Amino acid sequence: MGKHKFKTEVSQLLDLIIHSLYSHKEIFLRELISNSSDALDKLKYLTLTDDAFKKFDFKPRIDISFDKQAKTLTVVDTGIGMDDKDLITNLGTIANSGTKSFLHNIKDASKIDTNLIGQFGVGFYSIFMVAEKVEVQSKKAGQDKAFKWLSDGKGGFVIEETERKPIGTSVTLFLTEEGLQYANRWEIENIVKKYSNHIPFPIYLHYQEEKEKDKKENKVDQINSASALWKRPKAELKEKDYFEFYKTISHDTEDPLHYIHTQAEGALQYTTLFFIPGRAPFDLFYSDYKPGVKLYVKRVFITDDEKELLPPYLRFVKGVIDSDDLPLNVSREMLQQNRVLVNIKSASVKKILSELSKLTLDKTKYIKFYEEFKKPLKEGLYQDFTNRETLLDLVRFKSTKQEGYTSLSEYKLRMKPDQKSIYYITGGNEQNLKNSPLLEMYKEKDIEVLIMDDEIDEIVIPSINKYKEIDLKAVNRENAAEDLKTEKDKTAEKQAEPLIKRIKKILDKDVKDVKASSRLSDSPSCVVADENDPTIQMQHIMKAMGQKELPELKPILEINPTHDIVKKMAALEDENLFKDISRLLLEQALLVEGVPLKNPSEFIKRLNKIMNMAL
């Protein structure tokens, strides 16, 4: 009770709304109606499943009224209501860590892209685009006390007890001069038809109509269709209907990239309506991400907080699942094991992936999708063995032969007649990877190598092994080049054996092995990982994930027996100089791979010594 300060994130969000969302200010009404609809959904569920609420005289509705003289606009619902704790939680704090993190990192609110803000939804706080202050009155179902929440959106809010008979919530906006345009019958009706026509509860508009001179009649009209959009026949719906429904359930300001509406009849009866957003949500990589799919049973809202409705790698998908075959009082524990829902989930995943496969035919649109959601798709390769083949055809990679992205299927078509494997290189930077000495032999033989520069590639791709019976081989592993060796390479390796023995003796404590390489042409040396060891990049990832106690994993040094430096080393009798050059071969190979040297000062001394001799 009493005065409260907004949490820092709320203050930042309010600042962001004022600076960046002003051209979209009409969405405040969509957000208020969406909140009212959620409150009605929650109470409807309780009246059907909870004995304590079954005798409630529940008449779900949303009422909108305005008073131009008083400069107010009010939205009232007969939903579940809020007590003082709910008011603080819902209207004073932001729980989502993705949104918190984004807001903490904002340097200049005025320069933020409007559409970025829409991704996490401004919700209730959008009212401060049109109102100088707001009063919320609410009485929670099953409780005697009612509460009032007051704020001017500047720094805090006041909560106090109030008198209110009906359960539910009323939100009264005290409009600014600019916001006064919304105290208008036609404006309100247009906004509701545009954004909230599909809300499954009746929305009533209260207004006065002039009958005769100086005489007005109070009127109430229902201004929405109040039918669940996803249950309507697809033939009745237009693209704009789907797009506006998406904006309401996602709070996004942009149109979705794609939508998928399925009405299944047969052994299982259910309806799904899924949307692929145009942009990745902020909380995509946070463990407390908000699931995008709502579950209904026969149009009764059950939950929007169940992460198991779709697999985690499809967490970016927004939408609705409505089943005719689940019990209304299904618990969360039951949900996770319910055969009906397991089957709906399985069919939904196949349908979504099938639609994404069709989307690949429109390369521009698909790449727009892929740029946003490539990492979750790759997670799917690791998580979803059942659909792995489909996912393998959906992922895209950079390449040494193609501009932009290419698929494994396209790579396969370009393979040389005698080529037995698909080759790839993993690491953190596309340009560095393309210039890696590990690619020299492949360039010389005109063999394409896929560039995998996402951290997740390092984790996921080694677990796959094959694409359509073709081996996937990492060029930064020891045996990747074995099937490309020529007789000439084998002869050169044989001749280099005495030199290898000398270098190995010097570097014995720093490397797992020293070998002659057939993969190098321009460079004298490179480092690769043993087939059973994590690569250098993987070791970095493991450390970043908090695995501090890693055993020391030594690389394999490969030297190029045909390189001038290596040839001259074979004839070098100065043992100290031989040691310095051996170490420089290892150190330069490590630097190319982005590995920090254990002793940079010793490296510099060796380098200066060699330069001095050269001069």
Q: Which residues, given as ranges, of the chain have pLDDT below 70? A: 1, 8, 17-23, 93-122, 331-333, 533-551
**pLDDT number for residue 23:** 61
145: region left, alpha or beta (phi > 0 left; psi from -120 to 50 alpha) = beta
Please tell me whether residues 50 and 160 are part of one structural domain.
yes
- Beta strand pairing call for 470-474 and 421-426: parallel
d(CA 300, CA 351): 24
Contact 294, 250 (CB under 8 A): no
State whether 100 and 210 are in the same domain.
yes
**287 plus 413 within the same structural domain:** no
Cβ-count burial 81-119 (b if 16+ within 10 Å, e if not): bbbbebbbebbbebebebbbebbeeeeebeebeeeebbb
Q: Which two tokens stand for residue 16?
A: 């962001």
Residue 377, domain member (yes or no): no
Cβ-in-10-Å burial (0-12, 13-18, 19+) of 598 comes to exposed
Domain boundary pick from 222, 248, 276: 222
Strands lying side by side in the sheet with 556-559? 513-516, 556-559, 525-528
Nearest to 66 by CA among 244, 225, 211, 219: 219
Beta-sheet strand order (sheet of 131-139): 2-5, 156-162, 146-151, 131-139, 168-175, 72-77, 62-67, 203-212, 215-222
Of 204, 222, 240, which marks where a domain is finished? 222
Give the pLDDT score at 106. 59
Say whether 424 sits in a helix, a strand or coil.
strand
Q: Do 202 and 176 fall into the same domain?
A: yes
Could you tell me if residue 387 is inside a domain? no
514 and 580 Cβ atoms separated by less than 8 Å: no
Asked whether residue 316 is assigned to any structural domain, the reply reads yes
The pLDDT of residue 330 is: 72
Q: Report how far residue 466's alpha carbon sits from residue 509's, in angstroms, rounded to the nearest whole number.
A: 35
133 with 246, same domain: the answer is no
Radius of gyration of the chain, Cα coordinates, nearest whole angstrom: 32
Last residue of a domain, one of 222, 245, 267: 222
Residues 137 and 267 in one domain: no
| 202 and 108 in a common domain | yes
Specify the DSSP element, H or E, that contains 136: strand 131-139
Is residue 207 located within the same domain as residue 85?
yes
392 in a structural domain:
no
Q: What is the sign of the dihedral through the CA atoms of 314, 320, 326 and 329?
A: positive
Tell me if 179 is assigned to some domain: yes
CATH number, domain of 304, equals: 3.30.230.80
Q: How many domains does the chain divide into?
A: 4
Q: Is 306 helix (H, G, I), strand (E, B) or coil?
A: coil
Q: How far is CA 589 from CA 68, 428, 508, in A?
A: 75, 16, 16
Indicate whether 267 belongs to any domain. Answer: yes
CA dihedral for 161, 162, 168, 174, sign (positive or negative): negative
Residues 440 and 412 placed together within one structural domain of the fold: yes
User: Do residues 40 and 201 touch, judged by C-beta distance below 8 A?
Assistant: yes
pLDDT tens for residues 31-78? 899 889 989 999 999 998 888 998 888 999 999 999 999 999 999 999
Q: pLDDT (tens digit, 9 = 90+) per residue, 308-319?
A: 899 999 999 999
For residues 100 and 134, the answer to whether their CB atoms sit within 8 Å is no
| C-alpha neighbours within 13 Å on the C-beta side of residue 55 | 3
Instruction: Kindly report the CATH number assigned to the domain that includes residue 31.
Output: 3.30.565.10
For residues 10 and 132, state if they share a domain.
yes
Residues 99 and 239 in one domain: no
Write the CATH number for 408. 3.40.50.11260
Domain assignment present for 380: no
Distance between CA 427 and CA 437 in Å, rounded?
13
pLDDT of residue 98: 57
Query: Based on the domain organization, do 208 and 241 belong to the same domain?
Result: no
Altogether, the residues listed in the chain come to a count of: 615
Q: Are 450 and 398 in contact (CB under 8 A)?
A: yes
Q: What is the DSSP string of 539-593?
A: HHHHHHTT-------PPEEEE-TTSHHHHHHHT---HHHHHHHHHHHHHHHHHHT
Is 412 within the bounds of a domain? Answer: yes
Q: What residues does 452 pair with on adjacent strands?
A: 426
Say what the pLDDT of residue 120 is: 45
Residue type, 106: I
The region, left, alpha or beta by phi > 0 then psi within -120 to 50, assigned to residue 385 is alpha
Residues spanned by the domain of 320: 229-359
